[in-house]
Amino acid sequence: MSVGVKKLLKSVMNRVPAHLKRTQISNTSERLARVREAIDKHYHQGWRSKEGYSATAYEHDLNAHLTDRLANDRAFNIPWIDRAKPIRGQRILEIGCGTGSSTVALAEQGAAVTGIDLDEGALEVARVRAEAYGVKCEIKALNAADLDYAPGSFDTIIFFACLEHMTMPERLSSLRRAWDSLPADGLMVIVETPNRLWYFDHHTSRLPFFNWLPHDLAFDYAKFSEREAFKDVYGTRTAEAELHFLRRGRGASFHELDVAIGPDCKKHVASSLARHRGVLHRLRKPRLDRQYKALMRRIYPSVHEGFFDPSLDLIIRKP
C-alpha cells in the first residue's frame, strides 16, 4: 500500500462511525501470517512462474488480498451500507466473496453472512481468514446464476466486484434470482463493477471506449492494450479463450437491471458510494471525468447519477 493511500485511509477511518470501529478485529501478525500462508497455498499457486506476472505484480496482489481490501471495505463500503440499513443482525448474501476480505468486514459488524464464489482456491482462503479473525459465516461454492433461495431469505444481497466476471446469461439470471430472494425493503448492493458506459476501461485493457465494443470485436482489439498480461493472452480465438476473456471482466450498466428486474428498479436507488463519500471526493476527480459524467446526466436525466460513475457502486431498495 502506497504512502498516499495509507494517509487517505487513515483520514477516512477517523470519520468512520464509532460503533463500526469498535467491532473491527485487529490485524495481528498471527492472523496475517495465517492468511498469507493460505493465499500462497490456495490462491497464488504458480503466480511467480506465470508469464507476464512480475514480482511487483505478485506483491501488489498479495497486499491487496492480505490487508488493503479489508481496509478499503472498513473505510468506505461498510459505513455506506450500514447507513442505508444497519448491518448488525442482518442476513447478508455476498456474491463474489473471493478471499473473504469483505466477508470478515461484514461479519465483524454482527451480520450473518453467506459468502459464495466459483473459485475454490479463493473460498479456501476465505475460510481460513474467517477462522483466523474468529467470525462465523457460511462459505460455499455456488454460481449466482443458480441461486435458489426463498423470498425473504436475506435482508441484503451484495454483488461484490463480480457482475463484470459473469457471462450475460449468468448476469441476468443472478440479478433476477437475487431480487426475487429479497423481501420488501431489502437491499441489493452492487459494488466495484466497471461501468460499460464509461469512456475508459480501467479494469482490464486500460484502453478508451473498450467496454463499448461488442465482445467479438473487443477480443480482437485486446492486442492493442499496453498490458503485457492482457494483450498477449487473447491471440487465438477458441471457445476456452473467449470464455476466459469474458471472465476477465466486461463492464455492466443499468441495462442488465432493466432486462432482469424491470426498468422501475432504477427509481429505487437508495444511494451511490460516490454520493455517500461527499463533495470533496467528487471534486478530486479529474475535470474530464466530471465533465463526462455531467454530459451523461444531461443525456439521461431520469437515471440516478450513480449509473454514470466509472464503476457501479449502488444500493437499490426493493419496494
Please state the length of the chain. 319
Residue carrying the nine cell digits 465482445: 215
Per the CB < 8 A criterion, the answer to whether 126 and 117 are in contact is: yes
For residue 112, the cross-strand partners are 91
- Tell me the pLDDT tens digit for each residue of 73-85: 999 999 999 999 9
Q: Which cell goes with 279?
A: 463533495
Per the CB < 8 A criterion, the answer to whether 179 and 188 are in contact is: yes
For residue 91, the cross-strand partners are 112
For residue 92, the cross-strand partners are 113, 156
Sheet with 156-160, edge to edge strand ranges = 137-141, 112-117, 91-95, 156-160, 187-194, 311-317, 269-272
pLDDT higher for 115 or 277?
Answer: 115
Per the CB < 8 A criterion, the answer to whether 16 and 79 are in contact is: yes
State the pTM of this model.
Answer: 0.92
Question: Rounded to whole angstroms, how far apart are CA atoms 43 and 65?
Answer: 10
pLDDT band at 286 (very low <50, low <70, confident <90, very high): very high
For residue 157, the cross-strand partners are 93, 188
Per the CB < 8 A criterion, the answer to whether 205 and 225 are in contact is: yes
CB atoms within 10 A of CB 80: 21
Instruction: Report the candidate in 122, 88, 120 with the shortest Cα–Cα distance to residue 106.
Output: 88
Alpha helices (runs of H) in the chain, residue ranges in sequence order: 3-13, 18-21, 29-38, 55-63, 69-72, 78-84, 101-107, 120-133, 168-181, 215-221, 228-231, 239-248, 254-260, 273-277, 279-283, 287-299
Q: Does the structure show a pLDDT above 80 at 5?
A: no
All domains of the chain in start order, with CATH:
17-317 (3.40.50.150)
pLDDT at 229: 80
Question: Rounded to whole angstroms, how far apart are CA atoms 247 and 34?
Answer: 29
Question: Rounded to whole angstroms, how far apart are CA atoms 74 and 249?
Answer: 25
Q: Does the structure show a pLDDT above 60 at 4?
A: no
β 311-317/187-194 pair status: antiparallel
pLDDT higher for 208 or 52?
Answer: 208
- Tell me the pLDDT tens digit for each residue of 101-117: 999 999 999 999 999 99
